[in-house]
Structure formats: C-alpha cells, structure tokens
Amino acid sequence: MRIDRQALLDLATGAAFLGSGGGGDPYYSQLLGEAEIARRGPFNLVALDALADDALIAPCGWIGAPTVSAEKLPNGREALLGLRELERIYGRPIDAVMPIEIGGGNGLAPLLAAAELGIPVVDADGMGRAFPESQMTVFSVDGLSACPSVVTSANGELRLIETDDNLEHERVARQLSIEFGGNAHMVEYPLNGAQAKRHAIGGSISAAVAIGAAVRIARTAGDDPFEALHKALIASGLYPFAGTIFDGKVVDVERETKGGFSVGHVVIEGFGGEGRMDLEFQNENLIARVNGEVRALVPDLITVMDRETADSIVTERLKFGQRVKVVGAAAPAVLRAERALTFVGPSAFGFSEPYRPIEDLNGWNRG
C-alpha cells in the first residue's frame, strides 16, 4: 500500500480518533506529510508479514505534554537524528519504522522520517491507540525492552537511555522531555522482524486510513458521519464495538501541564435531559462517567468529537461551549487481556473502578 495525499488526510482523521484525545494533534504532521508527498511522492507502507525475520524495525514517536507541542513546533529533524543514532548503535541500517502508537500525530510522524531515510513504514503500531506513558505498549506487556532508546530535542540535543526496567525508562524519558522544553522525539523498543510480527498490532495504519475514509465519504454524501465511523471501527476487526455514548455541550474544562503530562477534567452537559458527563484525562481521555456511573474507561477508547463535523477534538483543544458527541470504542483484544490490564487498565492510572468492557457498560452486546 502507498500513502498518497488522500490516504494521508484519511489517516490523519482516523489517527485523531484513535488517539482517544491524545497522541498530539495530527494537523502539523499532516501538513509536513503533504509537503513530503509533493516533493518525493507517496509514502510506502508494508505489512508485517512482508518483513524479513532479521530486519531492524524502529518504533518511534513524540513524548511530552500535548499542550506544549501545540505551541512548540518541532524542527523536523528530531526523528532523523534519533534514527541515525540507532543505526550507529546497531552498526547497520534501519529497514523500516513504525509508529509507537497509532493515535494522533504520533500515527503520522514516522512517515516523514521514513521518507528521509528512503525506507517504508510498517502497517502496525505498539498500542492500537494512544497512551500517555512509554511502558504502556504491547511490547512491554510481552516483556520486550524499550532500550536502547534515543531521545532528541528540537535544538539537536540527543540522549541515549539504557535501563533494565521499562518503567524506569519512562521516568528517565519523561524527565528528559521536560528538560528539552516539554516535548521530545523518542526512538524506542527496537525490534527485529520476527519480534514485530509476533508482538505488534498489525494493520492499525490501514485501519486508521479506512476509518478516516469512511467519515470523509459520509460527509461528502450527506450521510451521518458518526454512523459511518461506528461501522468502520467495527469493520476494522481491531475495534469490535463502537458507538456514541453522550451528546452535549462542554461547560467546564480544568487543565494543567504536570509532570510532563497534560492532565485535567472536562464536564459536558447533556442535551435532552441526559444529565452530565465527567471526563478525566492524562494526555488521553481515561474515564467517562454519566451522572456518576462509569460509561467507558481505559483501555477502551473515548474520543470527544464536534457534533456537526465529526472532527475529533484532542484534549488540549477542548474549551467551553463546544457542542460535542463522545464516541467510545472497544480496544484491541490484546489490550484487554488480564496481564495487559496491569499496564493499561484503570488501576495503572490510579482509578479504583475495575475494568468493564465498554460494550457491557453501554449494552452494545445485547441482542
């Protein structure tokens, strides 16, 4: 598959939804991608099963608070600097790159680095959505190391991280992102082809493209883009349940940048006597309660969207008065496994509520 301009725009739409409010706004990466396509032509996307077992695969993306990245733009060379350093460490060229997470701007960012290196992007990622911390990947769940890891800044600074523990890696990388001005680029979890095929979430980029295309086609035809979105998510095979869980107006937003994250709380007043929804986020939306009752929680996806256009709204752009729909989707099955929930479930974020699948909470699996 090749990612041309239209596929890139669809990818940006799909990745924005899969970010669950985080992953960074994809708009800037989209603009850079369009310029890259005009200069070099479409991006190359390869399936996991096309990789040689001994290929060197480099997952990468941005780390830091999205509120910072909205104002502090990258210089465009951070990823290339980090990837070149990884090549130096391994003493060989990188064969392909992969987004560490498909959500938000991180779902598009590796395309630009791949074009610079003349290599493809693997149609896969390490999360199937976006999560705020680097140990919250399927690679970490499966016992793979994040190291060697390379963190780079907009002014050309580079740091190599070597730790024995992925949680310690996250702590070190987060501190570096703060020192580098609030956000930084990171190459992590280097894989060989066999490991990528065994552990990565395959097909997530092409799924994001298909999700974005479905929304675009529905808009053009005058059909309901939310219905098209729900159907496309389910049809992807990765997100087997989806639906709108609330409809209302944003009436309060509390947000701060803390510890290298954007954290906060949003209140949405429902239309038609629905009461109110309370959302809590740490870069990504984590838990949604309606009138005090949980309607969705991590690792399932929760995305706030403009109720007229079906544009996803990242947490750093939520504001008073927006009329929105909140759409939820079941996370990929691998994230719902018992061991994975210790990494990405409610308890990993300090919530006392036990995980319950979004389809159970909303009655989507009833006949």
pLDDT above 70 coverage of the chain, percent:
97
- pLDDT at residue 366 greater than cutoff 60: no
Residues 28-86 have pLDDT tens digits of 889 989 999 999 999 999 999 999 999 999 999 999 876 665 566 666 789 999 999 99
Nearest to 26 by CA among 96, 112, 127: 112
Q: Residue 292 and residue 208: Cα distance in Å, rounded? A: 32
pLDDT value at 364 more than 50: yes
- What confidence score (pLDDT) does residue 287 get? 98
Give me the pLDDT at residue 143, please. Answer: 97
Q: What is the mean pLDDT of the chain?
A: 94
If we measure between CA atoms, which residue out of 115, 108, 106, 55 comes closest to residue 80?
115
Question: What are the pLDDT digits (tens) for 192-232?
Answer: 999 999 999 999 999 999 999 999 999 999 999 999 999 99
| Top-confidence range, 38-42, 187-191, 256-260 | 187-191
Tokens of 247: 């409809």
Average pLDDT on 143-161 reads: 95
Q: Which domains does the chain have, with CATH numbers?
A: 2-202 (3.40.1610.10), 238-362 (2.40.390)
pLDDT of 106-125, one tens digit each? 999 899 889 989 999 999 99
Residue 244: strand pairing partners: 327
Q: What is the mean pLDDT of residues 226-242?
A: 98
- At residue 258, the pLDDT reads 83
Predicted confidence at residue 25, as pLDDT, reads 87
Residue 101 tokens read as: 């997470």
